[in-house]
Each structure stands twice: as structure tokens, then as C-alpha cells.
Amino acid sequence: GAGVSQSPSNKVTEKGKDVELRCDPISGHTALYWYRQSLGQGLEFLIYFQGNSAPDKSGLPSDRFSAERTGGSVSTLTIQRTQQEDSAVYLCASSFRGYEQYFGPGTRLTVT
């Protein structure tokens, strides 16, 4: 079956602009995670959705970052007023009931 998909694959934006990154999880997976990978910080957790529970936002680095998950499926990560330090690869993962996680190909964000 289809894996996790993310769009766009690459995004270049100017400092101060807002961006939206999309994730389509594996069909039937109840849990969805966002991570980011940057040279200085490695792979770090951002936010986690599980079913209808309140999301775990403990990894979001600032209030410029937000995410939503509509209908228990697709998720959008929004970064407002982007800064250069937001440049990274943003990775989405999904899992069935929160165990083994499967990752998408990522969105490479470059803030100029």
C-alpha cells in the first residue's frame, strides 16, 4: 500500500513569510507525528496526534509553529513569520495505535 506522503518536497521562502507543510499518513493509521531534522539539532520531535485526543505539542519550538489534523487523517504544519533558523527537513510519521512509526520523505524548507 501507499506510504506516508508529504508535500511540497522542497519549499524556499523569504524570512517573515508563512508556510504550510502537508502530510498524508498511511490509511488506517491513528497516530501522526511531526519531527524536524537540522544539522545542528539532529532529529527532534515537534507534535503528536493520536485519534481524537488532544495533541502533544511539547516539542514545538515557539508559538509560531502550529499543526492541525483534519478528520483524523491529513495534517498540516504551519510556520508563521519564518526565520532562518526554521530551515530544516520536516518529517512526518504515522503509526497504527502509536507503535512502529513509518516516515514520509520529508519537506526541505529553506528560509532566505
Partner 1 sequence: GIQVEQSPPDLILQEGANSTLRCNFSDSVNNLQWFHQNPWGQLINLFYIPSGTKQNGRLSATTVATERYSLLYISSSQTTDSGVYFCAVGRDTDKLIFGTGTRLQVFP
**What's the rounded Cα separation, in Å, for the pair 106 and 35?**
9
Asked if residues 106 and 90 have their Cβ atoms less than 8 Å apart, the reply is yes
CB closer to partner 1 out of 79 and 92: 92
CB of 81 to partner 1, least distance (A): 25
**What's the rounded Cα separation, in Å, for the pair 9 and 17?**
18
CB closer to partner 1 out of 14 and 105: 105
The number of beta carbons lying within 10 Å of the beta carbon of residue 90 is: 23
1 binds partner 1 (CB under 8 A): no
CB closer to partner 1 out of 15 and 97: 97
Binding test (CB under 8 A) with partner 1, winner from 55, 66, 74, 105: 105
> Helix, strand, coil: what percent of the chain each, to 5?
5, 50, 45
**What's the rounded Cα separation, in Å, for the pair 40 and 24?**
27
Restricted to residues 19-78, the positions that interact with partner 1 (CB under 8 A) are 31, 33, 35, 42-45, 48, 50, 56, 59
90 binds partner 1 (CB under 8 A): no
Residues at the contact surface with partner 1, assessed by CB under 8 A: 31, 33, 35, 42-45, 48, 50, 56, 59, 89, 91, 93, 95, 97-103, 105-106, 108
